[in-house]
């Protein structure tokens, strides 16, 4: 039996230099828990309450960081897409207000054999909003082929497009998705998006972050890291090092 569920988070300044969570609504398999985070952030962890998404499920998470809020969202475990009657849909909708910051750092999305998942992530940013967003996809569990996975990431800043990209893997994806010009035999794909007002005056310089990862400035105060790796562990290592590189550079510029 398919499930339709929408979980919601809203973060707002608490008037004492930290961030409150006036809305924290779990739904269906999407259980939300307030967790510790370094001040002034509020922390939320997504906990899977049951196996999901299964084929036929329609799941969504809506997250809003109001003006001046600081919010960090993570997950307790990887998301596993499983087979079922028809494709599953998973929609993530993020809104970040003026002077607010959102760190959206979920765990990996694993596309199991026979599954079919269509996932969209839509982000709307105010002109002075700050965003750190991580996406990781693993094609199949150990020793199995991937399912069908189609993802789209759309980011708008001040109502204007900043990034809009689609990826497709597995049966039914366009020819060449696993070829040498795309994955080159790798099974894990990831990206990090940084949208930081500091980049307007000092954009990051493009650079290689190893043999299969690159840091690229975007048109706008943003930078994108894209990487492939043999497995989830190696991919996370690359993305963690990239996060330190970019955020340490921003911190040094602020205090320079």
Q: Does the pLDDT value for residue 96 go beyond 80? A: yes
Q: How confident is the model at residue 255 (pLDDT cuts 50, 70, 90)?
A: very low
SS3 content of the chain, % helix, strand, coil (to 5): 10, 50, 40
Distance from the Cα of residue 80 to its chain's centroid = 15
What is the pLDDT of the chain when averaged over all its residues? 92
Question: Nearest 5°: phi and psi at 56?
Answer: 100, -20
Residue 216, pLDDT above cutoff 50: yes
Residue-wise pLDDT for 168-195, tens only, equals 999 988 888 888 878 888 999 999 999 9
Q: Is the pLDDT of residue 251 over 70?
A: no
Question: Is the per-residue pLDDT at 92 higher than 90?
Answer: yes
Domain boundaries, the chain: 4-255
Question: Residue 175: is it exposed, middle or buried by C-beta count within 10 angstroms (0-12/13-18/19+)?
Answer: exposed
Report the predicted TM-score, pTM, of the whole model to 2 decimal places.
Answer: 0.94
pLDDT at 40: 87
């Amino acid at each position: 039996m398919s499930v339709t569920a929408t979980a919601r988070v809203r973060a707002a300044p608490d008037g004492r230099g930290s961030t409150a969570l006036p809305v924290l609504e779990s739904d269906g398999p999407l259980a939300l828990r307030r967790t510790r985070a370094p001040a002034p952030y509020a922390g939320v962890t997504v906990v899977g309450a049951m196996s999901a998404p299964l084929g036929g499920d329609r799941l969504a998470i809506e997250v809003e960081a109001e003006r001046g809020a600081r919010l960090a969202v993570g997950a307790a475990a990887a998301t596993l897409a499983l087979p079922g009657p028809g494709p599953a849909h998973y929609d993530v909708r993020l809104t970040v207000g003026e002077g607010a910051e959102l760190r959206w750092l979920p765990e990996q999305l694993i596309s199991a054999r026979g599954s079919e998942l269509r996932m969209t992530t839509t982000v709307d940013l105010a002109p002075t909003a700050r965003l750190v967003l991580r996406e990781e996809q693993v094609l199949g569990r150990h020793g199995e082929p991937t399912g069908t996975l189609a993802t789209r990431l759309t980011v708008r800043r001040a109502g204007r497009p900043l990034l809009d990209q689609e990826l497709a893997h597995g049966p039914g994806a366009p020819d060449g998705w696993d070829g040498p010009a795309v994955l080159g035999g790798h099974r894990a794909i990831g990206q990090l998006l940084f949208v930081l007002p500091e980049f307007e005056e000092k954009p990051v310089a493009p650079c290689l972050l190893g043999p299969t990862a690159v840091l690229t400035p975007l048109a706008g105060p943003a930078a994108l890291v894209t990487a492939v790796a043999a497995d989830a562990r190696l991919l996370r290592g690359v993305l963690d090092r990239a996060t330190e590189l970019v955020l340490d550079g921003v911190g040094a510029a602020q205090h320079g």
